[in-house]
Structure 1
Amino acid sequence: MNQSESKEDLPLAEDQQPVEVGGREIESGDVDSHNKTLKQSSEERSHAANLSKDGRSLPAKIPGYIIIRSLGEGSYGSVWLAQEENTGKYVAIKFYTYRRGLDWSLLNREVEKLAELYTSRHIISLQGVGWNSDPPYYMMEYLENGSLLSFLDSGPLPVSEAVRIAKTVLLALVHAHGRGILHCDLKPANVLLDANFEPRLCDFGQSRLSDEQSPSLGTLFYMAPEQADLEAIPDSRWDVYALGALLYQMLCGKAPYRTPENELSIRKLDSLEAKLEAYRDLIRSSPRPAEHRKVSGVDRRLVEIVDRCLETDPKKRFPNAQAVLTNLLQREQHRARRPLIALGVIGPLLLILGLIPVAGAAVSQMENRFRENLTERALRSDSITANLLAQNVARDLQDRQDQLVDLSKRTLLRSLLEDKETPEEKQSYAKLIDYLEQEKALVDEKRSALNREKDTSWFITNDKGKQIWRNPVGPTIGQNFSYRDYFHGHGKEYEKGNAPKSIKPITEPYICQVFKSEATNQWMVAIAVPIWNLQNDKVLGVLARTTHLDQLLSSYDESIRGDSENSGDRKIALIDNRDGKVLAHPRMTANNLRKMSRHQVDRLVLKENHFDQLQSFKLAQKKKQTDPLSAMISDYHDPVEAVLSIDDKDNVWLAAFSPIGMTGWTAVVQERRSMALRPVTEMRSWLIQYGLIVLATSCLLVFTVWYFVMRVLTERRAWDWARQQSEKRTDQGSTSSSSWPNQHRE
């Protein structure tokens, strides 16, 4: 019984108190010979009833003390709060009022143990004893905050508080075990709290000396399973189990294995031995308590300490209270080092991690700047190439036109066409054919020498548009082509057979609007010049030469691609300025276009935003507001690649545009952006790789440094402990060489 009376603990016998066997003399009438259950006499039962009716009846007066109030009632007596008259000091007085059937060894044992342990500030201190008083009593210090049990009634404690109380209780147990005293009944009701909520261990009524052989029964659900035996020999591991149960209850709010069902199953049994056996079977057959693992703030080390304290096999349990205390202190040291580790390890790592965004931003800025510079340089190069291409195409067209103009002014050609009659009927027609064939052969020979493509065809129409000659010869001779733009120069084509009757042939050299080949769907262009009569007052006919636009570019394609790794990474093309149609492109071959309808070919046009950019550039160029090399697009989407390529994921190009003279066309030089910016990707990959190497090296360096620092600190602590032990032994040896061995053993 304590200053705060326990109503929680499940009794083992009818007296509602832990049963003690072997520590008192039991008369033959006190114990049933069959079940060894303690029995009350009729007088004892009557006295207990009177105590229940009058819980505040003062057992006795003690000189020098004022009895204030009752603190609690129990089967062996009551505890009262008293005040010393001279000093005003409060004490708790435990009266053994139940004298009949009282085992006087209980009082004697508890007083002796408290007197032996008075030097520990973690154990309730003895203030005085009244052996000859009626009833006898002993005085102990009064702790105003009562027992730990009253605080646990409202729920579990914070983890830090639970560990603090457990550590203090362990200090008390270590002190008691060092004096050869085992408590044997550790529970929340036997832990009192002073004004500062510091715990004190009390109630040594069930305690045993470490060399005693008599058993001692504790309280259910705090008692080790091997302790619940009337033949058990006291063991320090009993207190270890009880400490584990106490710590478990402080963390979880209830003792391990304690449930209403388990309590009822034990309470309904009649004999003490049956209750003890049921308790042992319950502890050993039930799953290991695990609720403490779910408590927030309970770390792995604390879980292991609780689990080892509650081991049902005493061999697996901590051997004594000192071992438990050592493990708790090591846990605290480990937790205390965590801020240092966090500062020394996590701190540098956080610094490194904090530098990652800065480094990432710097790399990103560097990458963007490099990409911009590389893009600008590539576009600048493409723009220069596009201008050169446009100039060369314009010069080539001009050369072709000049050749036709020179030929059309020759007198022989004009005289052969002078007669208004049909040339086929004239002998001069054969001469005309021979003359034109010779001239074309000379032109083809010159172009071959210059590695330039030959014309697709040469032909002449009369002043009505009827074709009278063609090389190579074809079915078109004799057909009327007055609807073609190269004949009338109106900038458009009329519907075949529906040209205006007033249509007239061109009067100036003319490069016509492009038209589609009926055979291949490819875009073609005709360069036409008028043939005047000798008097220069009438146009006799039109001399023209045609070429496919892809052939017009073919002689420049290889030279512009240069040493590109992939022929698809750099291309040239022609765009119609009027509507953005693609006129020539490396993918617009005869084979590809034959598979497409005219409508599909007409859909090969620039995206609207690219066409608007091109028109804006042309307008600014006319107003001389822009650099002639500034028609550049960094995200050009090739319309031909979009239609004809299977994979359109990489259809983003750097493109430069340049108008081709007065043709109404624009030359395009484009290169795949991913290939042009490959150095950026390679640089980024290189920076990331080296950044990861630097990061890994830094982390390894931090961990290596701290490994050696922690190793040095550990060795330092071991050396300091060894030095302290050595100094302690030296001091003890100098004071009393004869007493040192006994002190060491104690």
Structure 2
Amino acid sequence: MAASFDFKKRLGSGYFGEVWRAVDLGLNSECAVKCIPPDKVLNKSNFYQEAQVLKAAEHENIVAVTEAGSLSDGRVYVVMELLPNGSLEDEAKGGYVPLSRAKRLMIDVLRGLKHAHDCNIVHRDIKPANIMIGNNNEGKLSDFGLALPDLDLLDISAVKGYQYILHLAPEVEKFSQHTALADIYACGVTLYRLVNGDSYLPSVTPSEARRLATKGEFPDRSYYRGFVPAAFKKVINRAMEVDPAARYQSAEEMRRALEKVQISVDWDENVFAGGKQWLGSAGDIRVLVERMKGSDGSWSVTVKKGKEGKNMRRDNSMCSSGLSEGQAMRSAYRVLQRFTSGKVK
């Protein structure tokens, strides 16, 4: 008997089809179903190749596949575990996520990616939209639609778009050139977006983004939020090296480097008239850092610490005044990074 689903809500769509939240009427259970039109199936002799690739890459940090088949209208379906928390793109909504969370989720992704690479599977489309949040808040790599071995049959322009081009390694001109090291590059771009938010990416056309990427100028390797520590930036920038030989040579190598980055404080950043404020927490201690412009035109940096609200006290050892705007920015960033890296408490 053919499978039957009650399609409730479309969760996403791409070149190779749509993903729906659905109820399997036979089992009376919720699931995620990817529906692939027949004309988007690359291997006409094996319509279930994508499902088989995912099954071959089974891992706790890769979205699980439970079934594959065909619908009455000829579409191929792939049943996957339903993850109600959605994707990392859904969570971030173009903004930044806490550094400790970005680190933890990318470590999860890199574990799954190492397993895929060990199975000779190259993902080719790593980005926040393809990182799902598991039921235990873990990261799970999804959407292996571009991981198929038949991609020489598909022109890269078929899926060209800003999001795809943004994560595409400079050396890749056609799908057959997309190696495991190109996946590492995509992980670097993904992590850059997570720690900064998409506002740190200038508005450019896909062709301009591609041109700048080949020169190592997009994303801007020197442009980070002030609280991102140097060790974290070093990991991201190495993953985004234009020369593949200069990148991490495996997902495991990148994961081990990321695991060594210490994140002691996560920050909420707020802009207000005349300045900027960062509020962080380390256990039960709250930290407030403010960069403000005074009535005389000079700038100051104020640091307060304490358990909550009125209990926060000014730390004069890290405060400064009478600064230029640039001096105040650099001073605030030094303070933020010292707290983030655990060098002060």
- C-alpha deviation, 1:77, in angstroms: 3.4
Q: Which has the larger helix fraction? A: 1
**Which residue number in structure 2 is paired with residue 301 of structure 1?**
231
1:144 alignment partner, one of 84, 104, 112: 84
Per-residue Cα deviation, 1:521-577 (whole angstroms, up to 9, x for no partner)? xxxxxxxxxxxxxxxxxxxxxxxxxxxxxxxxxxxxxxxxxxxxxxxxxxxxxxxxx
2:244 maps to 314
Once the two structures are superposed, residues 67-125 of structure 1 have per-residue CA deviations (whole angstroms, 9 ceiling, x without a partner) of 333334445433222224565432111122x434653469544212111012x011011
Superposed counterparts of 1:489-568, under 5 Å: none
Does 2:176 align with 1:244? no
1-side partners of 2:175 and 2:54: how far apart? 26
Counterpart contact for 1:148–1:191, Cα < 8 Å: yes
Q: 1:147 Cα deviation (Å)?
A: 1.4
Tell whether the 8 Å contact from 1:215 to 1:232 is kept in structure 2 after alignment: no
Aligned match for 2:136, one of 189, 193, 196: 196
Shift of 1:220: 1.1
The one of 190, 206, 214 aligned to 1:284: 214
Q: Distance in 2 between matches of 1:104 and 1:213?
A: 11
How far has the Cα of 1:150 moved from its partner? 1.5
Map of 2:54 onto structure 1:
114
Distance verdict in 2 for CA 1:69–1:238, change over 3 Å = same
The answer (yes or no) to whether the contact 1:128–1:138 under 8 Å persists in 2 is yes
AA aligned opposite 1:240:
I
Map of 2:117 onto structure 1? 177
8 Å CA contact retained: 2:65, 2:80 = yes
| Aligned match of 2:202 | 259
Partner residue, 1:523? none
**1:103 paired to 2:46:** no
- CA deviation vs aligned residue, 1:680-732 (integer Å, no higher than 9, x gap): xxxxxxxxxxxxxxxxxxxxxxxxxxxxxxxxxxxxxxxxxxxxxxxxxxxxx
Partner of 1:225: 170
Give 2:92's aligned amino acid. L
Query: What is the CA deviation profile of residues 408-453 of structure 1, one whole-angstrom value per residue up to 9, with x for unaligned ones?
Result: xxxxxxxxxxxxxxxxxxxxxxxxxxxxxxxxxxxxxxxxxxxxxx
Aligned Cα RMSD in Å? 3.2
TM-score by length of 1: 0.31
Query: Higher Cα Rg: structure 1 or 2?
Result: 1
2:24 is the counterpart of 1:62: no
TM-score, normalized by length of structure 2?
0.65
User: Cα offset for 1:291?
Assistant: 2.5
Partners of 1:242 and 1:196 lie apart in 2 by 25
Residues 214, 66 of structure 1: alpha-carbon distance in 2 compared, 3 angstrom cutoff: closer
Distance in 2 between residues matched to 1:214 and 1:99, nearest whole Å: 15
SS of aligned partner of 1:145: coil
Q: Structure 1 residues 289, 116: closer, same or farther in 2, change over 3 A?
A: same
Deviations 1:386-420 (A, max 9, x none): xxxxxxxxxxxxxxxxxxxxxxxxxxxxxxxxxxx
Aligned residues: percent identity? 26
Could you tell me how far 1:212 is from its partner in structure 2? 9.2
Which amino acid counterpart does residue 305 of structure 1 have in structure 2?
V
Provide closer, same or farther for how the CA distance between residues 74 and 283 of structure 1 changes in structure 2, counting only shifts above 3 A: closer
Residues 81 and 189 (structure 1 numbering): CA distance in 2 closer, same or farther, change over 3 Å?
Answer: same
Distance 1:70 1:200 in 2: 20
Number of residue equivalences = 254
| CA positional deviation for 1:162 | 0.6
Gaps of 5+ in 1: 1-60, 267-274, 340-746
Are 1:124 and 2:40 counterparts?
A: no
Higher strand share: 2
Go from structure 1 to structure 2 and tell me whether the alpha carbon gap of 1:83 and 1:131 turns closer, same or farther (over 3 Å shift): closer
* Counterpart residue identity of residue 236, structure 2: V
Instruction: Call closer, same or farther: CA 1:304–1:92 in 2, change over 3 Å.
Output: same
Which AA in structure 1 matches 2:64? S
Partner amino acid, structure 2, of 1:202: S
Determine the C-alpha separation between the residues in 2 that align with 1:326 and 1:307: 15
Native 8 Å contact 2:18 2:34 kept in 1: yes
* 1:190 partner letter: N
Alpha-carbon distance, 1:183 to partner: 0.5
Quick one: distance in 2 between partners of 1:101 and 1:168? 30
Task: State the distance in 2 between where 1:203 and 1:171 align.
Answer: 16
Query: Match of 1:324?
Result: 254
Distance 2:40 2:175 in 1: 23
Decide whether aligned partners of structure 1 residues 154 and 184 sit closer, same or farther in structure 2, where only a CA change above 3 A counts: closer
- Structure 1 residues 280, 107: closer, same or farther in 2, change over 3 A? farther
Distance in 2, matches of 1:322 and 1:62, equals: 39
Structure 1 residue corresponding to 2:20, chosen from 67, 80, 85: 80
SS of residue paired to 2:261: helix
- 8 A Cα contact 1:237 1:320, kept in partner: yes
8 A Cα contact 1:240 1:320, kept in partner: yes
2:126–2:167 contact (8 Å) kept in structure 1? yes
Q: Aligned partners of 1:130, 1:205: CA distance in 2, in Å?
A: 16
Q: Take 2:70 and 2:108, find their aligned partners in 1: how far apart are those partners?
A: 31
**SS at 1:144's partner residue?**
coil
C-alpha distance 178-214 of structure 1, shift in aligned 2 (>3 A): farther
Contact kept? 1:214, 1:233, Cα under 8 Å: no
Counterpart code for 2:183:
D
1:354-433, aligned counterparts within 5 Å? none
Matches within 5 A, 1:458-473: none
